Chains A and B, each alone.
Chain A
Amino acid sequence: MLSADEIGVVLFTLKIACLGTLLILPPGTAVALALARYRGPGKGALETLLSLPLVLPPTAVGILLLEAFSRRAPLGARLASIGLDVVFTWRGVLLATSLMSFPLLVRSARSAFEEVDPRLVGLARTLGCGPIAAFFRVTLPLAWRGVLGGTVLAFARALGEFGATVMVAGNIPGKTQTLALAIFHDNQIGRDDRAVVLAGVTVAVAFAALWTTEWMTRRRSRRAEP
C-alpha cells in the first residue's frame, strides 16, 4: 500500500504538525487571553496583524520568511552561526506551518475566552486564587472547548500547509517533504495514483482528529449539564 518512503513522509508530517501545535499552544493561548481581556489602544492593529497569515497568499508569507531567515539576512545569519539553519531544513517546515496555523488557534481560543464572564475570574481571586490559579481553575475549564477546537484546527492546518512551506523549506524528499508537498510532487511527475493514496491518508488523519475532538466535547458536555 504505502512504500517505506511514503510512510516516512506521513510520519514526518505528523511529527511536524504535532510539534508545531505543541509549540504554538502556550503562546497562542496567552495571546488569545490577552486579546480577549485587553481593552486599549493598539488592540485592533494587533488583531489584524495576527490574522494576516489567514488572508495573505501562503507563498507571500513564505517569501517574507525566506528573506528573513536566509543566511544573507541578519536574523538568518545569527541562527546559522549557532547551527540553526532554517531555510531548506525541517526547521523551516516547522516555522512555516506553525506561523500559518497560529492565527487559527488564537481566533478560536480568543472567542472562547471572551465568553468567560470576567466576574467569575474576579470571584476566584477573592476566593484565594492568584491570576495563574484562577486561569487554570476557572478560565480554562470554562473555555477548554474553544481552545481544543482551535488546537485541532491549527493541527489540521499544519498537516496541510503548502505554500509557505514550499517557499522556505523547498520540497526535498526525505528532508523537508510533507504530505501536501508529496502529493504535489507525485502529480507533477505523473504519478497521480500515488497522489490519490497520499490524499486518502490526509483525509483519514484529519477525520480522526476532528472526530476525536467532537467526541470529547460531546462526552464532557453531557457530564457537565445533567
Chain B
Amino acid sequence: MIELSVELPLAGFTLRVEAALGGRLTAVMGPSGSGKTSLLEAVAGLRSRCRGRIVLNGETLLDEARGIRLRPERRRLGYVPQDAGLFPHLTALGNVRFGARGKTAQVDGAIETLEIRPLLDRFPASLSGGERQRVSLARGLAADPRLLLLDEPLAGLDLGLRERILPYLLRIRDEWSVPMLYVTHNVGEALTLADQVLLLREGRVEAIGAPVDLLSSPALVREAASGIENLFTGSLLSHDRDGGVTRVDLGGRVTVATSLAAERPVGSRVTLAIRAEDVLVVTGPVEGLSARNVYEARVDAVERTGDDVTLRFHLAAGGPPWLARLTPAAVRDLRLRPGSAAWLAVKSHSVHFV
C-alpha cells in the first residue's frame, strides 16, 4: 500500500498527486511530460524539492509536516529506468550485486528469475537492449526492495523483444511479493500487467481505476496511449495458410482475421490491438470490400477528442466495445450519433498482436 500526497514543482507546472495505491502493480500512464518519471523519482527520494507525504506499507518515507525525509539509500526501493541504467564499469554480476549487501539468496533468486546466469561475466556495453533490461530488473530485485519503480522498462525494445521480456515481468509480479509502480505508454502492457491504472495529465491525477474500466473509455485512453487502441483478448482459432490469415475468437460470436501468424499455437490466449484510426465506419451494408473483418455495430458514444472524433460502438455479435477515430467532417457527413447503425471494417493487416 502506497499513500501519496505529494507536490513537486516541474518546469511547466506543479505535479500534484493524491492517491492510495494498493494492488500488486499500478500502471502510471499519461501523455509525455505529464510527470510520470518525476513521480517515480520523487518516490525514490531523488527529487529534493518534493513536498508532502509518502507512506509505504505504514512506513513514512516523506512527511514534510513532521520533518521526515528519508534519504534515497534508506528507502529500500528498486528503480529500473527506461534505458536500464547499468553501471558501465561493472559486469552484469557486479551490477546485480550492487545493492544486495551480501544477500546471496536474494541475488541468486533474481538471477534465476530473470534467467541471466549466462550473462553474468559480461559488461553492459556488450549486452543487447533486452539483456540489459533483464540485468537491471535483477539488480532492482536483488536489493530486496519494498517497492519496485519501473520507468517504461520495455520502451526502447522492439515488439518481438517486448513479448519476450513481458513474461519476466509477470513472473516478478506473481512470484516476488514486491508491489510495483510501472510507467508505460503501452495500453497492452497495462492491461496485461496492472491491476490498477493511475492516469496523469499535466501533473494532475486524471483518474485511478481498474485497467479495463479506464482503458476502454475513449476520453481517458486518448491521453494514455500514443494512439487509441482497441485491445481484445481471445483465443487463437485457426491458421489459413493459403488465405494468409490467422483467425482469433474474441468471444460472443466475434472472430477477427489477422495476417498469418503461424508461429503462434492454435488455442493460445492472445491480445490483439487495432488502432482506432484503422477502423473504417460504413453506414450501408458492405459488399465486395477487401477488408477481412466486417461487423454490424451500433454507436454508443460520440466524443470530440482533440482534432478528431472518437466513437464507441458495440457489435451486434457481442463482445467488448470498439473504438473508431474519424474526422469531424466524416462524422457529420455520415450523420453518426448515439444509436446510429453502422458497419465496422478492419483490414487483417491492421490487426496486431500485443
Contact = CB atoms under 8 A, between A and B. Distances in A.
Interface of A: 119-120, 122-130, 133, 137-138, 141-142, 224-226
Contacts of B126: 226
Interface string B121-133: 0110110000000
B101 A119 contact: no
A147 to B, nearest CB: 14
What 4 pairs across the A-B complex have the smallest Cβ distances? A127-B99, A125-B72, A126-B79, A122-B46
B325 interface: no
Contact of B77 (A120, A124, A126, A224): A126
A128 to B, nearest CB: 5
Interface string B53-79: 000000000000000000111011111
Contacts of A125: 45-46, 71-73
B2 interface: no
Nearest to B46: A122
Interface string B66-104: 000001110111110100010111000000001101000
Given A125-B73, A127-B139, A138-B87, 4 more contacts: A122-B46, A123-B81, A126-B46, A225-B123
13 contacts: A120-B85, A125-B46, A125-B71, A125-B72, A126-B45, A126-B73, A126-B78, A126-B79, A127-B79, A129-B99, A138-B87, A226-B123, A226-B125
B202 to A, nearest CB: 24
A127 B122 contact: no
Contact of A130 (B73, B78, B88): B73
A120 B87 contact: yes
A130 B71 contact: yes
Interface of B: 41, 44-46, 71-73, 75-79, 81, 85, 87-89, 98-99, 101, 122-123, 125-126, 139, 143
Given A119-B81, A226-B126, A126 B89 contact: no
B143 A127 contact: yes
A226 B92 CA distance: 13
A131 to B, nearest CB: 9
Contacts of A133: 73
A224 B85 CA distance: 17
B87 A128 contact: no
A142 B90 CA distance: 10
Nearest to A144: B89
Contacts of B85: 119-120, 123
A130 B158 CA distance: 36
B146 to A, nearest CB: 12
A122 B72 contact: yes
Given A120-B85, A141-B89, A126 B44 contact: yes
Contacts of A224: 88-89, 123
B237 to A, nearest CB: 46
A224 B110 CA distance: 24
Contacts of B99: 126-129
Contacts of A138: 87
Contacts of A141: 89
Given A119-B81, A141-B89, A142-B89, A124 B98 contact: yes
Contacts of B79: 122-123, 126-127
A120 B46 CA distance: 11
Contacts of B71: 125, 130
A128 B143 contact: yes
Contacts of A137: 98
Contacts of B98: 124, 127, 137
A142 to B, nearest CB: 6
A123 B99 CA distance: 10
A49 to B, nearest CB: 27
A122 B87 CA distance: 11
Contact of B73 (A120, A128, A225, A226): A128
A7 B37 CA distance: 63
B270 to A, nearest CB: 36
A125 B99 CA distance: 9
B255 to A, nearest CB: 47
A119 to B, nearest CB: 6
A219 to B, nearest CB: 14
A122 B46 CA distance: 6
A224 B90 CA distance: 8
B191 to A, nearest CB: 28
